Amino acid sequence: MTLEPTSGCLDRPVLRERGQREVFCGLTGIIWLHRKIQDAFFLIVGSRTCAHLMQSAAGVMIFAEPRFGTAIMEEKDLAGLADANEELDKVVARLVERRPDIKLLFLVGSCPSEVIKLDLAKAAQRLSGTYAPDVRILNYSGSGIETTFTEGEDACLASLVPSLPEAGEAAADQLLVVGALADVVEDQFTRLFDAMGIQNVSFLPARNAESMPAIGPGTRFLLAQPFLTETSRALARRGAVHLPAPFPLGAQGTTAWLQVAAESFGVDDALFTEVTAAPKARAEKALTHYQEQLTGKTLFFFPDSQLEIPLARFLHAELGMVPLEVGTPFLNKALMAPELDALPDEVLVSEGQDVDKQLDRCHDQRPDITVCGLGLANPLEVEGLTTKWSIELVFTPIQGYEQAGDLAELFARPLVRRTRLEV
């Protein structure tokens, strides 16, 4: 099965805006990554503001000991009165001594550490010499100065790729699924691939440091998340081959995503249909419960997570919603071509943001649902617009057949809430 293109908006002009933006810090990617890689630790080199942000975003209980923390830069560090590298070495030494379970340590750059030009790449290399092979130390930037919050995951995975082992001759038979997925979703996909006869399947990131996949020339990879541009480039530099596909959202998107892998690995059409028939039917049945609530409702996406285009495709093609504007922080047409082809040709696709101009367009169109970041949601709600937080769509398992109904419910719920409030 393939997604049926409408006249499509792949070749239509894109509105590119450059102005004031509403963005959420890239450090927040740690919230789902530290849960996924169970023996990793994310050490943010930043300020007290970074620490407060992470604690608030994670909702950390006092009894929990998460696998992330902040090496807080004090005034003397920022003023150059202390050797920041020496201070960092001390923090890492205390951390490794206290947490012997850590096998992979990420030094995560922030706005403060980048402002003072602290070279975390050299720090990671230096510290790796001290703690290898027991602890592997890598670095990436989670700074929110120029990035969106999902780019934290992209930067993290891109930093992992050069250190992944070489797969050798086995790479030609390997399928790599790239992007952090909930364990339950990962298990569902594994069972489907196995039933098709695709058994050499790995996931990046893996659930622990020792299970990170080996890759090599001929490794074929599917993206499970649309915001992994730098990770894709890093994998290509290692010789891996990208399989372009729609993203696995909804019954149609998941089927098309799986079919790209099936065709690449020579899976018989009859076997593919047999394996996917039952879960696809369950997904379609789950979606019917929300079609009455959502069909014909208008949508407006502010740029935030880079999930906007695949979500708009799913909501339009499978639930009959009408996207008015689909804003995305960055548009990678090579990755988004299958999704853009399935959007209606009258939708406005915008890249970047000039928030005042976009707010004016939103106010003029008065959409039924506005998908946006936390900073815009409350003001828009006060103005009578129904909103959906884009960050919730990253924290929640939404990929695959079994999650199709849950994804639809995330958009039906705000409308139900609005209806109840108006009674």
Residue 155 forms part of a structural domain: no
What are the respective helix, strand and coil percentages of the chain, to the nearest 5? 50, 15, 35
Residue 9 forms part of a structural domain: no
Task: Give how many domains the chain has, as a whole number.
Answer: 3
What is the model's pLDDT at position 214? 94
What CATH number should be reported for the domain holding residue 216? 3.40.50.1980
> For 179-321, where are the E strands, in sequence order?
201-204, 220-223, 241-242, 298-301
C-alpha 423/C-alpha 420 separation (Å) is 5
Asked whether the predicted pLDDT for residue 417 surpasses 90, the reply is no
Residue 8 forms part of a structural domain: no
Query: Residue 1 in 3-state DSSP?
Result: coil
C-alpha 37/C-alpha 115 separation (Å) is 29
Residue-number span of the structural domain to which 302 is assigned: 15-21+289-422
Bridge-based pairing state of the strands 241-242 and 322-328: unpaired
Asked whether the predicted pLDDT for residue 400 surpasses 60, the reply is yes
What is the model's pLDDT at position 64? 57
Burial of 72 (C-beta count, 10 Å sphere; 0-12/13-18/19+): middle
- pLDDT category of residue 50 using cuts at 50, 70 and 90: confident
- pLDDT category of residue 422 using cuts at 50, 70 and 90: low
Choice between 276 and 83, residue whose per-residue pLDDT is larger? 276
Burial of 288 (C-beta count, 10 Å sphere; 0-12/13-18/19+): exposed
Nearest Cα to Cα of residue 354 among 22, 18, 125, 130: 18
What is the model's pLDDT at position 79? 55
Asked whether the predicted pLDDT for residue 1 surpasses 60, the reply is no
What mean pLDDT do residues 4-23 have?
69
Residue 3 forms part of a structural domain: no
Q: What is the pLDDT of residues 322-363, one digit of tens each?
A: 999 999 999 999 999 999 999 998 999 999 989 999 999 999
- pLDDT category of residue 52 using cuts at 50, 70 and 90: confident
What mean pLDDT do residues 391-404 have?
94
Helix or strand run (H / E) with residue 154:
helix 151-160
Asked whether the predicted pLDDT for residue 244 surpasses 90, the reply is yes
353 in the same domain as 244: no
Residue 277 forms part of a structural domain: no
Q: What is the pLDDT of residues 261-320, one digit of tens each?
A: 999 999 999 999 999 999 999 999 999 999 999 999 999 999 999 999 999 999 999 999
Measure Cα distances from 184 to 108, 191, 201, 401, 403 in Å. Answer: 28, 11, 16, 12, 10
- Residue 70 phi, psi (nearest 5): -125, 125
398 in the same domain as 308: yes
Residue 313 forms part of a structural domain: yes
What is the model's pLDDT at position 5? 44
Query: Tokens for 256?
Result: 């098309």
C-alpha 136/C-alpha 96 separation (Å) is 11
Contact 349, 355 (CB under 8 A): no
Residue 181 forms part of a structural domain: yes
- pLDDT category of residue 58 using cuts at 50, 70 and 90: confident
117: left (phi over 0), alpha (psi -120 to 50) or beta: left
Task: Mention every residue, 6+ apart, whose C-beta is less than 8 A from residue 72.
Answer: 46, 47, 48, 50, 51
409 in the same domain as 293: yes
Contact 149, 135 (CB under 8 A): no
What is the model's pLDDT at position 358? 95
Q: What is the pLDDT of residues 164-176, one digit of tens each?
A: 999 877 667 899 9
What is the model's pLDDT at position 145? 67
175 in the same domain as 139: no
Residue 4 forms part of a structural domain: no
Nearest Cα to Cα of residue 299 among 347, 241, 359, 247: 347
